[in-house]
Structure 1
């Protein structure tokens, strides 16, 4: 069950810090667009069994978290600062790891740049590196927001997102898990969808200038991507190389890996749960 913490502007931020193990290394899990913190439930079970203490939170307008008055004001920088406020509230000056997928992964890069030395190691999963305007591609986020506003509902967004994430074949073969994910997606409000899309669409969203700074923000990094996640396996190899160069330039002897989860899509810790945990947990346990 989530607890809420009130941010400086009065917004509630919903989070869940596992009660056990009480002294385990804290691993923060950051969500993708249109999902709440319960999307990580199966990963949490495995982390707890290995002695880690998971910390999850909901993005603005997702789950139990509120949205700002100005929906266009949400940015990756502001969301990273929200997490910093949460960690301060919990008395956590340092955490063992940040595992983020999609939007939650992009946020991790901003957090490391803005709050260096708080996260020991980072796992960056299935993320684009820039907004459509910066990447020079059509703005699909804007179209989805406009369509949802016309319909007054996120029903079509959820259906399209599920198919993009997992594909029809996987959804048909795993009806119970598909139903679980669809249900948790219903906690995202229209305002929450719009305000997080504002961050994804913003001219300020560009990881390229920040990738070389990852090494200054943490001690180790791992990149993970689903094999079927469009062209991200190729694009994230470029991201991996830039992050590794940053470690070299900082005098840190780190070989940064990109691990591809076979037969998995955009949210690879769901349709690729076992191989995902088989890659990530050893990285968390690495000395």
Structure 2
């Protein structure tokens, strides 16, 4: 069972995190950043695989998820502000270098923002199952606002959690994997309505647009890998375009990098859950590879 601690952020909020002690204090650190509606314990089955490969892991809870607090102004949450929170966390732990940032969904979006805002702190970036911008920037229907309104009206996250599970995994997978479904449902209940609204504010914000940042990823990290579940709506196509833009950035920076997109068969939006084995097979060799 992971041990979670807290730091106090400059605005007085608590940020919950877990830094593994194993394999050793000298082992390279892999930061794991998760999605909306899930706390950092969602990575529990990935952590031992990474430790067996020689990495320590650092996890944190998003605002209002798990044991992390929310800002007084929920609408003030952006990916920049979350990236700033993680920067404070690293400073408080006296960590000057992260071997890799592995993020899924909003955790992946935060990773792109972080490595371009704080270049050189992360060596490798793994971007999994993320949209590229807010609905207002894409000219698309805002699906987040109605979900926040529904949670507020209900006064709980129950319907949001059930709907999210169905979108992520589908009924067939959940019926075939009742224990993992139950685990996810339980850990998702630690998300507060305030936390859901705060993180949805980041996803809805006019400031959320990763597209101009893709060309800058090469200035922030040494290498990048993209991962997506094959059943995650249109994200396999979206992320292939993302891969092209990131690879172009490496080429323009004079770095000969072939940025790959790994598609996890039969997996959905959180592919490290329903595609755990294939996810690890895709990510661990990338983390272990020697830098060229």
TM-score normalised by the chain length of structure 1: 0.99
How far does the alpha carbon of each residue in 1:205-254 deviate from its partner, in whole angstroms, 9 at most, with x for none?
00011010000000000000000000000000000000000000000110
Within 2, Cα distance between the matches of 1:211 and 1:269? 23
Alignment correspondent of 2:183: 180
Q: Is 1:258–2:261 an aligned residue pair?
A: yes
Within 2, Cα distance between the matches of 1:150 and 1:138? 21
Within 2, Cα distance between the matches of 1:24 and 1:173? 37
Equivalent positions of 1:44-193 (< 5 A) are: 44-193=47-196
Q: Is 1:12–2:14 an aligned residue pair?
A: yes
Deviation at 1:24, TM superposition (A): 1.1
Within 2, Cα distance between the matches of 1:76 and 1:95? 19
Deviation at 1:136, TM superposition (A): 1.1
Within 2, Cα distance between the matches of 1:246 and 1:157? 38
Q: Is 1:3–2:5 an aligned residue pair?
A: yes
In the alignment, structure 2 segments of 5+ residues that lack a partner are none
How far does the alpha carbon of each residue in 1:51-88 deviate from its partner, in whole angstroms, 9 at most, with x for none?
10000000000001000000000000000010011001
Runs of 4+ aligned residues of structure 1 deviating over 4 Å after TM superposition are none
Within 1, Cα distance between the matches of 2:138 and 2:162? 26
Q: Is 1:230–2:230 an aligned residue pair?
A: no
Q: Is 1:205–2:208 an aligned residue pair?
A: yes
Q: In structure 2, the residue corresponding to 1:165 is in which secondary structure?
A: helix
Within 2, Cα distance between the matches of 1:217 and 1:19? 27
Deviation at 1:21, TM superposition (A): 1.4
Within 2, Cα distance between the matches of 1:134 and 1:169? 34
Q: In structure 2, the residue corresponding to 1:42 is in which secondary structure?
A: coil
Within 2, Cα distance between the matches of 1:243 and 1:178? 34
Aligned residues: 287
Alignment correspondent of 1:275: 278
TM-score normalised by the chain length of structure 2: 0.98
Within 1, Cα distance between the matches of 2:60 and 2:66? 9
Q: Is 1:194–2:197 an aligned residue pair?
A: yes
